[in-house]
């Protein structure tokens, strides 16, 4: 509604019109925000490695102290990076494709390992008794995991 004020006309807005305009502005801002929003998708490459070995019973040797059997696995991918910063996990499968992470006790034999550049050494120990050599083929999975240093 126009009202004269000297030689200038002033538009008079009622309270009801003011509320409609405010609501319209709020809805317009929400609509624009909704259609312009986007999501960021981060694609991180998987640089982890799984290496499977088949270890036969004749690959186990009695240790020099006579307390355990050992076998050495050559893992060329296992470099200083994985030793110092990454992670090394070892799993054994005693059949049926089921892998169990070691250290693990299976049929009274304690399996463990250590690793260094280029190799993983597995131990089969029988606590408090004469060591028992594995009698079946074992599938061994070595997993090398990259990590960021902090």
Using DSSP, state whether 17 is helix, strand or coil: helix
Supply the pLDDT for residue 101.
94
What is the rounded average pLDDT for all residues in the chain?
Answer: 82
Supply the pLDDT for residue 26.
73
C-alpha distances in Å from residue 48, one per residue of 9, 101, 126, 149: 75, 17, 33, 16
| pLDDT score of 61 more than 80 | yes
CA dihedral 50, 55, 61, 66 (to 10 degrees): 70
Q: Are residues 81 and 10 in the same domain?
A: no
Answer whether residue 42 is part of any domain.
no
Q: How far is CA 109 from the centre of its chain?
A: 29
Q: Are residues 58 and 95 in the same domain?
A: yes
Answer whether residue 88 is part of any domain.
yes
C-alpha distances in Å from residue 37, one per residue of 23, 26, 41, 65: 21, 16, 13, 67
The overall pTM is greater than 0.75: no
Supply the pLDDT for residue 99.
92
pLDDT average, residue stretch 35-64? 83
Q: Are residues 21 and 53 in the same domain?
A: no
Question: What's the CATH number where 81 sits?
Answer: 2.60.40
Answer whether residue 73 is part of any domain.
yes
Q: Are residues 58 and 12 in the same domain?
A: no
Domain range spanning residue 135?
Answer: 49-145
- Model pLDDT for residues 86-129, shown as the tens digit of each residue: 899 999 998 778 899 999 998 889 999 999 999 999 999 988 87
Q: What is the DSSP string of 100-126?
A: EESSEEETTEEEEEEEETTEEEEEEE-
Answer whether residue 41 is part of any domain.
no
Distance of alpha carbon 91 from alpha carbon 99, whole angstroms: 6
- Model pLDDT for residues 1-44, shown as the tens digit of each residue: 555 555 555 555 555 566 677 777 777 777 766 666 666 677 77
Supply the pLDDT for residue 129.
79
Distance of alpha carbon 51 from alpha carbon 15, whole angstroms: 75
Answer whether residue 12 is part of any domain.
yes
Structural domain count, the chain: 2
Supply the pLDDT for residue 8.
56
């Amino acid at each position: 509604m126009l009202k004269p004020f000297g030689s200038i006309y002033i538009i008079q807005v009622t309270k009801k019109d003011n509320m409609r305009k405010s609501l319209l502005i709020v809805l317009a801002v929400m609509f624009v925000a909704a259609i312009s929003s986007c999501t960021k998708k981060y694609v991180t490459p998987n640089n982890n490695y799984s290496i499977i070995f088949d270890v036969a019973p004749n690959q186990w040797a009695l240790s020099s102290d006579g307390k355990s059997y050992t076998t050495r696995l050559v893992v060329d991918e296992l470099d200083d990076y994985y030793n110092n910063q990454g992670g090394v996990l070892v799993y054994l499968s005693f059949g049926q494709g089921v892998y169990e992470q070691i250290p693990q006790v299976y049929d009274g034999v304690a399996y463990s390992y250590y690793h260094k550049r280029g190799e993983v050494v597995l131990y089969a120990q029988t606590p408090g008794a004469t060591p028992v050599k594995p009698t079946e083929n074992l599938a061994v999975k070595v997993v090398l995991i990259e990590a960021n240093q902090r």
